[in-house]
Amino acid sequence: MRIRIGSEAAIGRLAGELIVRQLREKPDSVLGLATGSTALVVYREWVRLYREGRLRFAKARSFNLDEYVGLPSHHPQSYRAYMREHLFRHVDLPEDSAMIPDGTAADPEAECRRYEAAIEACGGIDWQLLGIGRNGHIGFNEPGPCLQANTHVAELAEETRKANARFFSSPNEVPHRAITVGMGAILKARRIVLVAIGEEKAAAVRDALAGPVTTWVPASFLQLHRDVTVLLDDGAASMLPDRLREQAARIGERGDAA
Protein backbone atom coordinates (compact mmCIF):
# COMPACT_ATOMS: atom_id res chain seq x y z
CA MET A 1 0.00 0.00 0.00
CA ARG A 2 1.32 3.42 -1.00
CA ILE A 3 0.15 6.44 1.01
CA ARG A 4 0.47 9.91 -0.47
CA ILE A 5 -0.42 13.12 1.39
CA GLY A 6 -0.95 16.57 -0.09
CA SER A 7 -3.34 19.41 -0.75
CA GLU A 8 -6.69 18.83 -2.42
CA ALA A 9 -5.32 20.31 -5.64
CA ALA A 10 -2.24 18.08 -5.51
CA ILE A 11 -4.42 15.03 -4.91
CA GLY A 12 -6.44 15.87 -8.01
CA ARG A 13 -3.32 16.26 -10.10
CA LEU A 14 -1.83 12.97 -8.92
CA ALA A 15 -5.11 11.15 -9.54
CA GLY A 16 -4.98 12.62 -13.03
CA GLU A 17 -1.44 11.40 -13.63
CA LEU A 18 -2.36 7.93 -12.41
CA ILE A 19 -5.26 7.58 -14.85
CA VAL A 20 -3.15 8.99 -17.70
CA ARG A 21 -0.56 6.28 -17.04
CA GLN A 22 -3.23 3.59 -16.83
CA LEU A 23 -4.85 4.50 -20.15
CA ARG A 24 -1.51 4.91 -21.91
CA GLU A 25 -0.52 1.46 -20.71
CA LYS A 26 -3.91 -0.06 -21.57
CA PRO A 27 -6.24 2.20 -23.59
CA ASP A 28 -9.10 -0.31 -23.34
CA SER A 29 -8.95 -0.45 -19.54
CA VAL A 30 -12.05 -1.31 -17.54
CA LEU A 31 -12.43 1.48 -14.99
CA GLY A 32 -14.32 1.28 -11.72
CA LEU A 33 -15.77 4.68 -10.88
CA ALA A 34 -17.11 6.26 -7.71
CA THR A 35 -19.36 9.21 -6.88
CA GLY A 36 -19.64 11.64 -4.00
CA SER A 37 -18.00 14.96 -3.19
CA THR A 38 -14.47 13.52 -3.02
CA ALA A 39 -14.65 12.12 -6.54
CA LEU A 40 -15.36 15.61 -7.88
CA VAL A 41 -11.74 16.56 -7.14
CA VAL A 42 -10.64 13.69 -9.37
CA TYR A 43 -13.12 14.21 -12.19
CA ARG A 44 -12.37 17.92 -12.51
CA GLU A 45 -8.75 17.04 -13.16
CA TRP A 46 -9.65 14.31 -15.63
CA VAL A 47 -11.80 16.73 -17.60
CA ARG A 48 -8.97 19.28 -17.61
CA LEU A 49 -6.51 16.69 -18.90
CA TYR A 50 -8.98 15.59 -21.56
CA ARG A 51 -9.41 19.16 -22.77
CA GLU A 52 -5.62 19.52 -22.94
CA GLY A 53 -5.45 16.41 -25.11
CA ARG A 54 -3.51 14.33 -22.57
CA LEU A 55 -6.29 11.91 -21.67
CA ARG A 56 -8.61 9.84 -23.85
CA PHE A 57 -11.33 7.41 -22.83
CA ALA A 58 -12.54 6.36 -26.30
CA LYS A 59 -11.46 2.72 -25.92
CA ALA A 60 -12.17 2.40 -22.21
CA ARG A 61 -15.18 0.98 -20.42
CA SER A 62 -16.45 1.90 -16.98
CA PHE A 63 -18.57 0.42 -14.22
CA ASN A 64 -19.84 2.60 -11.41
CA LEU A 65 -19.89 1.20 -7.92
CA ASP A 66 -23.50 1.85 -7.08
CA GLU A 67 -26.89 3.42 -7.69
CA TYR A 68 -29.84 4.23 -5.48
CA VAL A 69 -32.81 1.88 -5.72
CA GLY A 70 -35.89 3.72 -6.93
CA LEU A 71 -34.26 6.78 -8.51
CA PRO A 72 -34.68 7.03 -12.29
CA SER A 73 -31.59 7.94 -14.30
CA HIS A 74 -32.92 11.47 -14.95
CA HIS A 75 -33.37 12.21 -11.24
CA PRO A 76 -30.82 14.93 -10.34
CA GLN A 77 -29.50 12.89 -7.40
CA SER A 78 -29.15 9.62 -9.29
CA TYR A 79 -25.57 8.57 -9.84
CA ARG A 80 -26.21 8.38 -13.57
CA ALA A 81 -27.06 12.10 -13.47
CA TYR A 82 -23.99 12.79 -11.30
CA MET A 83 -21.65 11.02 -13.70
CA ARG A 84 -23.19 12.68 -16.73
CA GLU A 85 -22.85 16.11 -15.16
CA HIS A 86 -19.32 15.78 -13.82
CA LEU A 87 -17.57 13.45 -16.26
CA PHE A 88 -19.40 11.66 -19.06
CA ARG A 89 -20.65 14.68 -21.00
CA HIS A 90 -17.19 16.26 -20.92
CA VAL A 91 -15.08 13.37 -22.25
CA ASP A 92 -15.09 10.82 -25.06
CA LEU A 93 -16.09 7.73 -23.09
CA PRO A 94 -18.73 6.07 -25.33
CA GLU A 95 -22.19 6.17 -23.76
CA ASP A 96 -22.71 2.45 -24.25
CA SER A 97 -19.41 1.77 -22.48
CA ALA A 98 -20.37 3.62 -19.28
CA MET A 99 -22.22 1.17 -17.04
CA ILE A 100 -24.22 2.05 -13.94
CA PRO A 101 -26.66 -0.24 -12.12
CA ASP A 102 -30.31 0.30 -13.03
CA GLY A 103 -31.91 1.54 -9.83
CA THR A 104 -35.39 1.26 -11.34
CA ALA A 105 -35.10 -2.39 -12.40
CA ALA A 106 -38.31 -4.31 -11.67
CA ASP A 107 -36.21 -7.03 -10.05
CA PRO A 108 -33.25 -5.42 -8.25
CA GLU A 109 -31.75 -8.80 -7.33
CA ALA A 110 -31.73 -9.85 -10.99
CA GLU A 111 -30.14 -6.51 -11.87
CA CYS A 112 -27.38 -7.25 -9.35
CA ARG A 113 -26.68 -10.58 -11.03
CA ARG A 114 -26.71 -8.99 -14.48
CA TYR A 115 -24.30 -6.24 -13.41
CA GLU A 116 -21.90 -8.66 -11.75
CA ALA A 117 -21.91 -10.83 -14.88
CA ALA A 118 -21.22 -7.79 -17.07
CA ILE A 119 -18.14 -6.91 -15.01
CA GLU A 120 -16.88 -10.48 -15.21
CA ALA A 121 -17.54 -10.62 -18.96
CA CYS A 122 -15.20 -7.65 -19.40
CA GLY A 123 -12.45 -9.43 -17.49
CA GLY A 124 -12.93 -7.53 -14.24
CA ILE A 125 -11.86 -4.04 -13.20
CA ASP A 126 -8.39 -2.85 -14.16
CA TRP A 127 -8.36 0.43 -12.20
CA GLN A 128 -10.78 1.18 -9.37
CA LEU A 129 -11.42 4.63 -7.88
CA LEU A 130 -12.79 4.62 -4.33
CA GLY A 131 -13.88 7.06 -1.69
CA ILE A 132 -14.51 6.17 1.94
CA GLY A 133 -17.51 6.90 4.13
CA ARG A 134 -17.26 8.33 7.63
CA ASN A 135 -18.19 4.90 8.97
CA GLY A 136 -15.62 3.15 6.78
CA HIS A 137 -17.99 2.03 4.06
CA ILE A 138 -16.82 1.46 0.49
CA GLY A 139 -19.45 1.87 -2.19
CA PHE A 140 -22.52 1.00 -0.16
CA ASN A 141 -20.83 -1.91 1.59
CA GLU A 142 -21.84 -0.86 5.08
CA PRO A 143 -20.30 -1.96 8.40
CA GLY A 144 -21.85 -5.06 9.92
CA PRO A 145 -21.26 -8.62 11.10
CA CYS A 146 -20.64 -9.79 7.52
CA LEU A 147 -19.99 -8.39 4.04
CA GLN A 148 -21.37 -9.61 0.74
CA ALA A 149 -18.79 -10.41 -1.90
CA ASN A 150 -21.00 -9.91 -4.94
CA THR A 151 -23.12 -7.06 -6.27
CA HIS A 152 -26.18 -6.81 -4.04
CA VAL A 153 -28.98 -4.61 -2.74
CA ALA A 154 -27.75 -2.87 0.40
CA GLU A 155 -29.74 -1.27 3.19
CA LEU A 156 -28.12 2.10 3.81
CA ALA A 157 -26.89 2.82 7.31
CA GLU A 158 -28.59 5.78 8.96
CA GLU A 159 -25.22 7.54 9.22
CA THR A 160 -24.78 7.17 5.46
CA ARG A 161 -28.27 8.52 4.76
CA LYS A 162 -27.59 11.52 7.01
CA ALA A 163 -24.27 12.19 5.25
CA ASN A 164 -26.00 12.10 1.85
CA ALA A 165 -29.00 14.18 2.92
CA ARG A 166 -27.20 17.39 1.95
CA PHE A 167 -27.64 16.41 -1.70
CA PHE A 168 -31.45 16.12 -1.39
CA SER A 169 -34.19 18.66 -0.71
CA SER A 170 -35.18 16.79 2.44
CA PRO A 171 -33.58 14.00 4.51
CA ASN A 172 -36.76 12.01 3.92
CA GLU A 173 -35.98 11.90 0.20
CA VAL A 174 -32.74 9.95 0.67
CA PRO A 175 -33.34 6.37 -0.51
CA HIS A 176 -33.05 3.55 1.99
CA ARG A 177 -31.54 1.04 -0.43
CA ALA A 178 -28.93 0.96 -3.18
CA ILE A 179 -27.42 -1.52 -5.58
CA THR A 180 -23.70 -1.78 -4.87
CA VAL A 181 -20.76 -3.74 -6.18
CA GLY A 182 -19.60 -6.06 -3.40
CA MET A 183 -16.24 -6.12 -1.66
CA GLY A 184 -15.24 -9.28 -3.49
CA ALA A 185 -15.51 -7.63 -6.89
CA ILE A 186 -13.77 -4.49 -5.60
CA LEU A 187 -10.85 -6.50 -4.26
CA LYS A 188 -10.51 -8.28 -7.60
CA ALA A 189 -9.60 -4.96 -9.24
CA ARG A 190 -6.01 -5.00 -10.44
CA ARG A 191 -5.26 -1.50 -9.14
CA ILE A 192 -7.11 0.53 -6.55
CA VAL A 193 -6.88 4.25 -5.80
CA LEU A 194 -8.57 5.41 -2.59
CA VAL A 195 -9.09 9.15 -2.08
CA ALA A 196 -10.10 10.81 1.20
CA ILE A 197 -10.35 14.52 1.93
CA GLY A 198 -11.22 16.30 5.16
CA GLU A 199 -10.85 15.80 8.91
CA GLU A 200 -14.29 14.17 9.06
CA LYS A 201 -12.75 11.17 7.26
CA ALA A 202 -9.69 10.92 9.55
CA ALA A 203 -11.05 8.29 11.94
CA ALA A 204 -12.30 6.11 9.09
CA VAL A 205 -8.95 6.41 7.30
CA ARG A 206 -7.06 5.49 10.48
CA ASP A 207 -9.26 2.47 11.12
CA ALA A 208 -9.08 1.35 7.49
CA LEU A 209 -5.31 1.60 7.14
CA ALA A 210 -4.02 0.95 10.65
CA GLY A 211 -6.72 -1.07 12.38
CA PRO A 212 -7.58 -4.76 12.14
CA VAL A 213 -9.23 -6.12 9.02
CA THR A 214 -12.87 -6.32 10.05
CA THR A 215 -16.33 -6.28 8.51
CA TRP A 216 -17.13 -3.41 10.86
CA VAL A 217 -14.74 -1.27 8.79
CA PRO A 218 -15.27 -2.46 5.20
CA ALA A 219 -12.42 -0.29 3.88
CA SER A 220 -9.99 -2.20 6.10
CA PHE A 221 -10.13 -5.06 3.58
CA LEU A 222 -8.02 -2.90 1.27
CA GLN A 223 -5.09 -3.92 3.47
CA LEU A 224 -5.33 -7.33 1.79
CA HIS A 225 -4.90 -5.95 -1.74
CA ARG A 226 -1.48 -5.92 -3.38
CA ASP A 227 -1.79 -2.67 -5.38
CA VAL A 228 -3.49 0.16 -3.50
CA THR A 229 -2.59 3.85 -3.65
CA VAL A 230 -4.15 6.05 -0.96
CA LEU A 231 -4.37 9.80 -1.58
CA LEU A 232 -5.06 11.92 1.51
CA ASP A 233 -5.11 15.56 2.41
CA ASP A 234 -3.69 16.63 5.77
CA GLY A 235 -7.10 16.52 7.42
CA ALA A 236 -7.85 12.97 6.34
CA ALA A 237 -4.33 11.90 7.35
CA SER A 238 -4.40 13.66 10.72
CA MET A 239 -5.12 10.53 12.80
CA LEU A 240 -2.71 8.15 11.08
CA PRO A 241 -0.20 6.52 13.44
CA ASP A 242 3.42 7.61 13.16
CA ARG A 243 4.51 4.39 11.45
CA LEU A 244 2.19 5.08 8.50
CA ARG A 245 3.05 8.77 8.37
CA GLU A 246 6.71 7.85 8.11
CA GLN A 247 5.95 5.57 5.16
CA ALA A 248 3.86 8.19 3.37
CA ALA A 249 5.26 10.45 0.67
CA ARG A 250 4.34 14.09 0.25
CA ILE A 251 2.64 14.99 -3.03
CA GLY A 252 4.25 17.95 -4.76
CA GLU A 253 1.92 20.67 -5.99
CA ARG A 254 2.42 19.31 -9.49
CA GLY A 255 1.21 15.90 -8.37
CA ASP A 256 4.62 14.27 -8.68
CA ALA A 257 4.95 11.82 -5.78
CA ALA A 258 3.49 8.68 -7.38
Q: Is 66 a catalytic residue?
A: yes
Q: Out of 3.40.50.1360, 2.60.40.1730, 3.40.50.150, 3.30.70.260, which CATH number does the structure's domain 8-192+203-248 have?
A: 3.40.50.1360
The candidate with the shortest Cα–Cα distance to 182, out of 157, 218, 217, 225, is: 218
Q: What is the pLDDT of residues 207-244, one digit of tens each?
A: 999 999 999 999 999 999 999 999 999 999 999 999 99
Which residue ranges in the chain fall short of pLDDT 50? Answer: none
Geometric angle at alpha carbon 175, from 171 and 179, rounded to 5°: 150
Nearest CA to 164 among 134, 128, 197, 201? 134
At 174 the pLDDT is 85
Q: Exactly one of 66, 67, 207, 233 is catalytic; name it.
A: 66
Verify whether residue 142 is a known catalytic residue.
Answer: yes
**How confident is the model at residue 256, as a pLDDT?**
63
pTM over 0.85: yes
pLDDT at site 80:
95
* From 45, 64, 126, 137, active-site residue: 137
Among candidate residues 142, 164, 207, 233, the one labeled active-site is 142
Q: Of 135, 141, 152, 164, which residue is the catalytic one?
A: 135
Give the pLDDT of residue 142.
93
